[in-house]
Amino acid sequence: MNKIAIVGYGTTKFSREEIPVESLLLNATKSLFDQNPNLNQKDIDAVLVSTNDNTKYLSAILSELAGIQPKTAHTVESLCNSGTNSVVSAYSYIASGLADVALVVGAERRNSPGQILEWDNSRGEFKHPIFWGTIFTKAHKRKFGTTEEDLATVSAKNHKYAHDNPNAYSNKIYSVEELMNSKILTDDLKVSDCSRPCSGASAVLLVSDKVVKKYSDSPVWINGIGQKTLSASFTKNQDFSSMSSTREAAKIAFDMSHLDPIDIDIAEIHDAFTVCELMAIEDLGLVSKGNGAKFVKTLYETEDRKINPRGGLIGTGHPLGATGVAQIIETTQQLQGTAGKRQIENAKVGLVHNMSAAATSSTVLLLQS
């Protein structure tokens, strides 16, 4: 099996602007080409687009706009973890020998139709994501004594780190107290607990070890992949204070890479809501169950950027199809030592956690320099 590395990336800024999805895709692709002078359109065997936008045939459209005539081109949709799913697909094409060079571009526009799962009628009229966010939060509070201050600390940390990310949606720093006073959505959820939809696109270039030297002196290797889908219905989660799809995906990824949670230097976590960051770091085994809040508080107070250095979904914004790809870019920059102000010293092993629809499915990737 071929080994697969990430050798290039490009991104747009994440913003509130309403931008056509085709432009977003092209802008991220242009940014990738601009930063990778050794890459020629003719090199690319596969173009995969990750989005929940309903627009048809987007990978062929992007290929045409970018002057690429790939062998393989198609869209990957899996709600909020479309991004990592498309990277896993690209990985598989390369690992199997069907491709040597694959371009993955994730994009979403702010008013994308893909943000609510209409199918899940078990949620009744409570289909908006804030309601599963509320149930998760209430259950975590009940089981582990998580407080509003704990949740606001996650949000304060991620806004603070996003301030050093020029592509982030948010550029404001808030105190824990300010966030605790933000608008109340439900008894268990405030505006400050939520990531927000926005427009944005991110692109990565994956290649096989056979051709890696042509594109990069500092490739980042994908050494672990774990995925699990439990259901499509939020209500099928057995326990609402933990994410079992994340636990299962993590186990698979750690087994594949022969790594352990203790090896992780930097983790990009899917903080769709503040409680998700706490649940995920617990279920990934980065801390023991119930100790997520204490851990995050220490990170915040010591300015340790180990978890969500780019500002998470809460600080950076959540353009669904782009999110997983953007998480991979941040991890790549950290492992290459090019994350600037956000750089974690001597980072060697990175984890990406990307999930969909109230953790009914999860992807965990392990990357190494």
Q: Which positions touch other proteins (CB under 8 A)?
A: 118, 120-127, 131, 134-135, 138-139, 142, 185-189, 233, 235-236, 240
Backbone angles phi, psi at 366, to 5 degrees: -120, 125
In the complex, minimum distance from the CB of residue 233 to other proteins, in angstroms, rounded to a whole number: 6
Minimum distance, C-beta of residue 120 to other proteins, in the bound complex (Å)? 8
Give the residue with the Cβ less far from other proteins, 144 or 174: 144
Other beta carbons within 10 angstroms of residue 303's beta carbon come to 9
Identity of the residue, 33 or 131, whose beta carbon is nearer to other proteins in the bound complex: 131
Length of the chain in terms of residues written: 369
- What CA–CA distance (Å, rounded) separates 120 from 358? 11
Q: Considering the complex, what minimum distance in angstroms separates the CB of residue 155 from other proteins?
A: 19
Nearest approach, Cβ of residue 198 and other proteins (Å): 24
Tokens at residue 216, please?
């990069």
Residue 312 backbone zone (phi > 0: left; psi -120 to 50: alpha; other: beta):
left
**Cβ–Cβ under 8 Å, residues 308 and 159:** no
Residue 18 vs 118, nearer CB to other proteins: 118
- Nearest approach in angstroms of CB 220 to other proteins is 40
Q: How far apart are CA 77 and CA 193, in angstroms?
A: 26
Rounded Cα gap, residues 327 and 310, in angstroms: 8
Residue closer to other proteins, measured from CB, 189 or 266: 189
3-state secondary structure 145-199: CCCHHHHHHHHHHHHHHHCCCCCCCCCCCCCHHHHHCCCEEECCEEHHHECCCCE
In whole angstroms, the minimum distance from the beta carbon of 114 to other proteins comes to 15
Which is closer to other proteins, CB of 117 or CB of 307?
117
| CA separation for the pair 51, 163 (Å, rounded) | 26
- Which residues have a Cβ under 8 Å from the Cβ of 95 and sit 6 or more positions away? 1, 2, 4
Q: Which of residues 72 and 186 has its CB atom nearest to other proteins in the complex?
A: 186
Nearer Cβ to other proteins (60/230): 230
Separation CA 285–CA 304 (nearest Å)? 18
Smallest separation (angstroms) from other proteins to the CB of 148: 13
Given the DSSP bridges, would you call strands 184-186 and 220-229 parallel, antiparallel or unpaired? Answer: unpaired
C-alpha–C-alpha distance, residues 351 and 179, integer Å: 28
| Least distance between other proteins and beta carbon 118 (Å) | 5
Nearer Cβ to other proteins (125/345): 125
Cα–Cα distances (Å) from 195 to 179, 221, 277, in that order, read: 13, 29, 11
What is the closest distance, in whole angstroms, from the C-beta atom of residue 284 to other proteins in the complex?
Answer: 23
Name the residue nearer to other proteins (CB basis): 67 or 113.
113
CB atoms within 10 A of CB 16: 11
